[in-house]
């Protein structure tokens, strides 16, 4: 029994309500309590590293009857990503959200979303996963529409409709799984499915799960909502949505269900490869034509998630390491890019690249961090994106998938192309007259982007010189996925039902 | 008395109606109704999993008159009902948000026609 696990969900969930109540006394209290909450959850996520696999039985009901929270290498990696990006986004919001009214309500929704994501990452129960998925999703629908202007509302409505269909598909999957096995505990279901012969019902359930989670993670052809919803949200929310939400409730949930519940058969891996390759190519090519800075970043997210899904779908140890490393890196540089785009919008009032230019002269900090983010994501050494993309291409070659390796390398060049376009038209060139008196952003915003830029550079260097990084963060997570490939009883089942 | 299979077929037909409304209708409120129909079809599906068609079902409450073995043989499965209760509450939350967004969209665009609400593209 690990008593920190319920706190990872409980603290943000409780503080979401308490923050709103405390803000009636003074608006500033909301700033303090939201920052303190995210510091606490981030600290706990780092404290949990290396504590090994552990479980918590909600209410003392032992599995398979009660809800179980399960902590293993994969959860650990995701918790660190989610809570670190959440902390930096909240620090960024301290200044950025000043221009919106109802800042306490923003923090409240933000903490609900954080609680939902932590819940999805930790839960060991299929129906409970659906509930946390909905908590995170509903909070994110409201956050996308937070500006309550034409575009925000339109994006929020589209996201809401498609997101609800996705959740409903997940619920259908849970219902079919329950009908087959009579259990909703993941380890219990997995143990039973390993002894059953494969049936059509299970294939239908798997289809429903994959469609639901692919919609949530914005993989092509389920991506229609993503380029509308991610740019329309306020910058810290865009950073959370693109940086962690599509990973936690999309890719992570899909991988957890495929590997630890259904059992990773070659059919599922092949589906992941197709979805990933499509997203990688389509997202990349659609990004080139964009003139809206944040919309380009949103298309780039689709493309980069394609890389992650392709690497995980290879089903090899190197592929898992590469995919998880890219997942980690994408969280760092995509939230950096969205926060930097927020800084640019904060200073200039626009995110249209045709109206920008020459920002490097007036905004040295923001320009440097934007450039670092763009270089990382395009795979320029020594930044972190270079190593994960290289590993993904190597993993494709090692698995004998030459076409995918070539596609990954080709899309890498396309990525470099559109990020050069973004840098050329926003950071360099001539400063338009209308922007001649812009100022650098205030300290909290600068702090967040600098912290993320340092992560992008440091992770790249540390990964190269010190294998301990990979041993601590990536290996345990890759072991969990390797375990899912086995056809006999896995250690996931043993650790949940036996512990 | 309808058989189990025909109930499932009717439920899938209900879901198909929801998907039709969601895809083919341009009116925002009709789309919302479509989403709600899909949700309710899935909820009904969950209830059907625990349903007993023989007409012998009892409520899953054990008392002095009914033994544990008899209860297990006759009672409906209570777990899907508990799941559906949660799912209905979540559905209510989404419905409230959808309705609020529809009102706000009407205030801004002066229309409920989704094909005229098209500022985001590309």
- In a mutagenesis test of the B interface, which of A64, A140, A164, A181 is the best target, namely the one with the most B β-carbons within 10 Å? A164
Whole-angstrom Cα distance, residue A15 to residue A21? 10
Answer for the pair A107, A34: CB distance below 8 angstroms, yes or no: yes
The verdict on a CB contact (< 8 Å) between A153 and B108 is: yes
Query: Is there a domain that residue A402 lies in?
Result: yes
- Residue A328: per-residue pLDDT: 95
Percent residues over pLDDT 90 in chain A? 72
Task: Please give the average per-residue pLDDT across A288-299, as a whole number.
Answer: 93
Which chain A residue's Cα is nearest to B108? A150
Quote the domain boundaries for residue A358: 264-465
A208 to chain B, closest Cα gap in Å? 12
- In a mutagenesis test of the A interface, which of B50, B93, B110, B119 is the best target, namely the one with the most A β-carbons within 10 Å? B119
- The pLDDT confidence band at residue B2, using thresholds 50, 70 and 90, is low
- The answer, yes or no, to whether residue B53 has pLDDT greater than 70, is no
pLDDT, tens digit, 9 for 90 and up, residues A392-451: 999 999 999 999 999 999 999 999 999 999 999 998 888 888 888 888 889 999 999 999
Q: Does A145 touch chain B (CB under 8 A)?
A: yes
Query: Is there a domain that residue A72 lies in?
Result: no
> In 10 A of CB A50, how many CB atoms?
10
- The answer, yes or no, to whether residue A489 has pLDDT greater than 70, is no
**B4-116 placed in CATH 1.10.287.3510:** yes
- Residue B102: per-residue pLDDT: 95
Task: Please give the average per-residue pLDDT across A52-58, as a whole number.
Answer: 88
B27 to chain A, closest Cα gap in Å? 13
Determine which of A191-195, A271-275, A374-378, B54-58 has the lowest per-residue pLDDT on average: B54-58
A278 to chain B, closest Cα gap in Å? 18
Which position has the higher pLDDT, A107 or B72?
Answer: A107
- The pLDDT confidence band at residue B55, using thresholds 50, 70 and 90, is low
Whole-angstrom Cα distance, residue B35 to residue B20? 10
Q: Does A149 touch chain B (CB under 8 A)?
A: yes
Contacts of A62 (CB under 8 A, 6+ apart): none
- In a mutagenesis test of the B interface, which of A64, A123, A175 is the best target, namely the one with the most B β-carbons within 10 Å? A175
pLDDT, tens digit, 9 for 90 and up, residues B77-96: 888 989 999 999 999 999 99
How many residue pairs from chains A and B have C-beta atoms closer than 8 A?
Answer: 87
B12 to chain A, closest Cα gap in Å? 11
Q: Which of A165, A178, A227 sits opposite B38 (nearest CB)?
A: A165
Task: Please give the average per-residue pLDDT across A311-326, as a whole number.
Answer: 94
pLDDT, tens digit, 9 for 90 and up, residues A253-278: 999 999 988 888 889 999 999 999 99
- The answer, yes or no, to whether residue A384 has pLDDT greater than 60, is yes
Query: Is there a domain that residue A129 lies in?
Result: no
Which chain A residue's Cα is nearest to B78? A182
- Residue B1: per-residue pLDDT: 54
- Residue A433: per-residue pLDDT: 83
Q: Which of B39, B79, B122 sits opposite A168 (nearest CB)?
A: B39
A455 to chain B, closest Cα gap in Å? 32
* Domain ranges (residues) in chain B: 4-116
- Residue A116: per-residue pLDDT: 97
Whole-angstrom Cα distance, residue A396 to residue A336? 28
Q: Which of B79, B86, B104 sits opposite A148 (nearest CB)?
A: B104
Mean pLDDT for chain A overall: 92
Which position has the higher pLDDT, A485 or A252?
Answer: A252
- The answer, yes or no, to whether residue A138 has pLDDT greater than 90, is yes
Task: Please give the average per-residue pLDDT across B110-118, as a whole number.
Answer: 89
The verdict on a CB contact (< 8 Å) between A161 and B35 is: yes
B7 to chain A: which residues are within 8 Å by CB? Answer: none
Coil, strand, or helix at residue A204? helix
- Residue B76: per-residue pLDDT: 81
Q: Does A191 touch chain B (CB under 8 A)?
A: no
Query: Is there a domain that residue A65 lies in?
Result: no
What long-range pairs does B51-56 form, CB within 8 A, spacing at least 24?
Answer: B51/B4, B51/B7, B51/B76, B52/B76, B53/B1, B53/B2, B53/B3, B53/B4, B53/B7, B55/B1
Answer for the pair A184, A125: CB distance below 8 angstroms, yes or no: yes
- The answer, yes or no, to whether residue A33 has pLDDT greater than 60, is yes
Answer for the pair A292, A231: CB distance below 8 angstroms, yes or no: yes
Number of domains in chain A: 1
Task: Please give the average per-residue pLDDT across B6-35, as a whole number.
Answer: 94
């Amino acid at each position: 029994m690990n008593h920190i696990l319920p706190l990872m969900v409980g603290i943000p969930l409780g503080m979401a309500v308490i923050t709103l109540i405390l803000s009636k006394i003074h608006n500033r209290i909301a700033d303090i309590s939201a920052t303190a909450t995210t510091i606490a959850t981030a600290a706990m996520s780092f404290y949990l590293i290396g504590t090994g696999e552990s479980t918590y039985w909600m209410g003392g009901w032992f599995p398979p009857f009660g809800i179980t929270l399960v902590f293993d290498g994969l959860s650990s990696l995701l918790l660190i990503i989610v809570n670190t990006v959440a902390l930096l986004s909240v620090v960024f919001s301290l200044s950025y959200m000043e221009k919106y009214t109802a800042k306490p309500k923003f923090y409240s929704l933000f903490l609900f979303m954080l609680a939902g994501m932590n819940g999805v990452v930790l839960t060991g129960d299929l129906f409970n996963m659906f509930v946390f998925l909905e908590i995170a999703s509903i909070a994110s629908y409201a956050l996308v529409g937070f500006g309550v202007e034409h575009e925000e509302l339109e994006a929020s409505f589209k996201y809401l409709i498609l997101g609800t269909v996705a959740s409903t598909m997940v619920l259908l999957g849970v219902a079919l799984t329950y009908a087959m096995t009579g259990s909703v505990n993941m380890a219990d279901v997995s143990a039973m499915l390993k002894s059953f012969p494969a049936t059509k019902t299970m294939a239908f359930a798997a289809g429903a799960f994959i469609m639901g989670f692919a919609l949530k993670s914005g993989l092509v052809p389920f991506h229609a909502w993503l380029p509308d919803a991610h740019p329309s949200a306020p910058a810290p929310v865009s950073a959370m949505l693109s940086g962690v939400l599509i990973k936690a409730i999309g890719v992570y949930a899909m991988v957890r269900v495929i590997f630890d519940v259904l059992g990773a058969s070659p059919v599922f891996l092949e589906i992941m490869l197709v979805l990933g390759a499509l997203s990688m190519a389509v997202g990349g090519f659609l990004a080139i034509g964009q003139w809206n800075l944040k919309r380009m970043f949103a298309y780039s997210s689709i493309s980069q998630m394609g890389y992650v899904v392709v690497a995980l779908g290879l089903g090899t140890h190197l592929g898992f390491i590469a995919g998880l490393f890219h997942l980690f890196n994408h969280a760092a540089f995509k939230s950096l890019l969205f926060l930097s785009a927020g800084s640019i919008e904060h200073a200039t009032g626009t995110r249209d690249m045709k109206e920008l230019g020459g920002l490097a002269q007036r905004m040295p900090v923001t320009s440097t961090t934007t450039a670092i983010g763009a270089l990382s994501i395009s795979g320029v050494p020594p930044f972190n994106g270079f190593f994960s993309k290289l590993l993904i291409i190597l993993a494709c070659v090692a698995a004998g998938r030459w076409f995918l390796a070539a596609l990954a390398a080709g899309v890498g060049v396309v990525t470099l192309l559109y990020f050069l376009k973004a840098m050329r038209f926003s950071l360099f060139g001539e400063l338009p007259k209308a922007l001649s008196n812009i100022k650098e952003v205030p300290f909290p915003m600068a702090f967040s982007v600098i912290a993320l830029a340092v992560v992008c550079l440091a992770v790249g260097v540390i990964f190269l010189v010190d294998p301990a990084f990979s041993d601590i963060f990536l290996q345990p997570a890759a072991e969990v996925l390797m375990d899912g490939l086995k056809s006999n009883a896995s250690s996931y089942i043993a650790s949940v039902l036996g512990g | 008395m309808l058989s189990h299979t025909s109930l499932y077929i009717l439920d899938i037909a209900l879901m198909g109606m929801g998907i039709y409304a969601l895809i083919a209708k341009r009116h925002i409120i009709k789309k919302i109704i479509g989403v709600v129909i899909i949700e309710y079809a899935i909820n009904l599906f969950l209830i059907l999993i625990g349903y007993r068609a023989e007409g012998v079902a009892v409520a899953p409450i054990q008392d002095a008159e009914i033994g544990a073995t008899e209860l297990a043989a006759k009672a409906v499965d209570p777990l899907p009902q508990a799941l559906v209760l949660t799912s209905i509450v979540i559905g209510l939350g989404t419905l409230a948000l959808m309705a609020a967004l529809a009102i706000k969209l009407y205030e801004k665009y002066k229309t409920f026609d989704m094909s005229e609400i098209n500022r985001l593209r590309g």
